[in-house]
Structure 1
Amino acid sequence: MTRPTGMTGTAQTTAATARTSPTGLVDVHAHFVTDRYVAAARVAGIAHPDGMPGWPAWSVDQHLDVMDRSGIDKSYLSISSPGVHFGDDKAARALAREVNEFGAGVRGERPERFGHFAALPLPDVDGALAETAHALDVLGADGVAVETNHHGLYLGAPRLEPLWQELDRRGALVFVHPTSPPRADEVDLGRPRPMLEFLFDSARAASDLLLRGVLARHARIRWVLTHGGGALPLLADRMELFRALLSADTDGRSADGSAVEQLSRLWYDMAGTPFPRQVPALRAAFGTERLLYGSDYCWTPAASVVEQVASVDAAEQPADGGTWRDLTTRNAHRLFTPDPA
């Protein structure tokens, strides 16, 4: 999520140039909301999700307009934080099914412009397994979306192992979106949590997947982390340092590579503020072989999406002579056409 800003004349010129670029972007981090979804959240008392002022508006036409203005060929839609589970398993299962049917409908009507990652009603694992099967087998979803934690249940928790086993069996794509940490109101200092807490929670979730051996056990899952991994690039070496102090039963410490090596096998999008610091930090830690483009629309306003794309086009481009558009789109094609196992 980025702070709304006005466009400068230079940014407008750059964005106009981007629209005529031969390489269209593939946006793996794009969101939708529906009236019924927002209504269900409000009934649950969520008027200011994650400390934000309110809920965004969204429509297919608005989304296509932003894509056309920014040179985005295709967007993969998902439900953002706070997800679909507001405290009741049965209601969460019904809401997940409803938003997934809607997302699949948008994808079905414009498959050349939209993809879809299905919402899961976690922390209800049985419900998540059922919805995974329906979404992937019936709706044809391109992957599933989970949050960095689900009511305090982080992704390395043993309770989630049946879900990871099933997704690993399928070689599925798992889009990991940040959310507020437990007791967030005690640490957010009254500020919107996407500003800082989301970035810390992405690193926390990735560390849990790493240190509990989930990444090593389920190597066929295509994990996608947002916002350049948040704080993760700055912490990967520190995680490796501390792994030596942990108990001897930590999975995968030697056979599956160092922390940096394992985290380099994940995919990362550049949603947020990719330049001048976010992408260089990610590149220094993990390289750019699995770097993807992400807009974070509709939670990021349309003007800010256009401004962000302009910053990507205006940044110093990769050393191989291509562009960030070329690189991220090429990587996205690899992500969505994985090698057969």
Structure 2
Amino acid sequence: MPAHRIDVHAHYFGGAVAAQAAKQPSPGNRAPWSAEATLEAMERTETAVQILSVPFTPQGGSEAKGLARRINEDLAHLIGRHPQRFGALACLPGDDPDAMLDELAYALDVLRLDGVALTSNVAGRYLGNPWWQPLLAELDRRAVPVLVHPTSCPHATELALGRHPSVIEYPFDTARTITDALFAGVFHRHPDLNLILPHLGGPLPALAWRIAECAAMPGAHDPATVTPEHVTDVLATLYYDTAMGGSPHALLPALQVTSTDHLLFGTDAGAAPATTIDRAITALTTTLQGNGLNAIEHANALRLFPRLAAR
């Protein structure tokens, strides 16, 4: 079959990212990133487009601002060279909301990137923390796609039990930050947020009923307007990508909280090994067929990423 998949969860480790990525712990040996090798891999997996992002938030004052700017300009240059094959999500510096807003405007309005990538927490601040309020308000106003990539929680060293935190701590941090946002009333204030949760939301779909029921219990949340029905409604409107999660064990819980219209094809390319990506694609395509599979692999992303569709 010709290349047709749109991969919304693929990582860029070239250019300005390479040195920073080398400092990040990795569960395996990461090969040097190149456009040529990536395009070859995309042909093998029948992927028409990769929407690239980086899986970390730069921190460190002016250095972080400079790194985020270089990353975004690298991504824009790559799209300019291969407009039909790559999209990109903006990287934002993580030290202060004003710097995030400045880079957001530059990346979306000047560089014309396709959306934004955030991490599940920045220095222990989860999405329910008021620190995020200015950025979330602007993302809500723009209604742009936002990939919320998991990262290590503040106590990951102890919780990961000597293993790389990506094994289970990353997906649990996805559930942690969305639960925090739900119970802090973020989605009441910002109903037009278009959040994409990697790895089919980690354990969040499996915990959805429990989280919704807890919304009816005293002390679980801040605004009184957070109800079980609100939790259920929000989880149905979020987007979930299939990276590291194409098997029935992960797909079925996600399809209990939302529909195939809110699932997106993702691979974790650049981080996940080719063998894992191949197994995930095989699991996805044997579990789902027909219109639902087409929506996940292609149609939903075109609807969510209008700039990509227009190129």
| TM-score when normalising by structure 1 | 0.84
Distance across 2 between alignment mates of 1:266 and 1:326: 15
Q: Which moved more, 1:27-36 or 1:67-76?
A: 27-36
Task: Specify every segment of 5 or more residues in structure 1 that has no aligned partner in the other structure, as ranges.
Answer: 1-19
1:148 pairs with 114, 120, 140, which one?
120
Aligned with 2:128: secondary structure? coil
2:155 pairs with 183, 187, 209, which one?
183
Higher Rg: 1
Aligned with 2:237: secondary structure? coil
Return the offset for 1:193.
Answer: 1.1
| TM-score when normalising by structure 2 | 0.92
Return the offset for 1:53.
Answer: 4.3
**Residue pair 2:90, 2:116 contacting (<8 A) in 1 also:** yes
Aligned-residue sequence identity (percent) comes to 36
Return the offset for 1:316.
Answer: 2.9
**Residue pair 1:50, 1:180 contacting (<8 A) in 2 also:** no
| Partner amino acid, structure 1, of 2:247 | F
Does residue 47 of structure 2 align to residue 72 of structure 1? yes
Q: Which residue of 1 aligns with 2:269?
A: 297
Distance across 2 between alignment mates of 1:193 and 1:269: 19
**Residue pair 1:51, 1:190 contacting (<8 A) in 2 also:** no
Change (3 A) 1:145 1:246: farther
Aligned with 1:133: secondary structure? helix
Does residue 208 of structure 2 align to residue 236 of structure 1? yes
Distance across 1 between alignment mates of 2:57 and 2:233: 30
Change (3 A) 1:289 1:241: same
Return the offset for 1:244.
Answer: 1.9
Aligned with 2:260: secondary structure? coil
Does residue 35 of structure 2 align to residue 60 of structure 1? yes
Aligned with 1:322: secondary structure? helix
Q: Which residue of 2 aligns with 1:335?
A: 304
Does residue 119 of structure 2 align to residue 139 of structure 1? no
Query: Per-residue CA shift, 1:287-323, capped at 9, x if unaligned?
Result: 322000001110012343233223322x1324xx435
Return the offset for 1:251.
Answer: 5.8
Query: Per-residue CA shift, 1:208-244, capped at 9, x if unaligned?
Result: 1111111221112211110000000111111112112
- Report how many aligned residue pairs link the two structures: 306
| Partner amino acid, structure 2, of 1:24 | H
Alignment of 1:195-206 (within 5 A): 195-206=167-178
Q: Which residue of 2 aligns with 1:100?
A: 72
RMSD of aligned alpha carbons: 2.1
| Partner amino acid, structure 1, of 2:226 | R
User: Greater RCO between the two (CA within 8 Å, min separation 6)?
Assistant: 1
Alignment of 1:1-341 (within 5 A): 20=1, 24-40=4-20, 46=23, 49-50=24-25, 52-53=27-28, 55-80=30-55, 82-85=56-59, 88-247=60-219, 249-250=222-223, 252-254=225-227, 257-313=229-285, 315-318=286-289, 321-322=290-291, 324-337=293-306
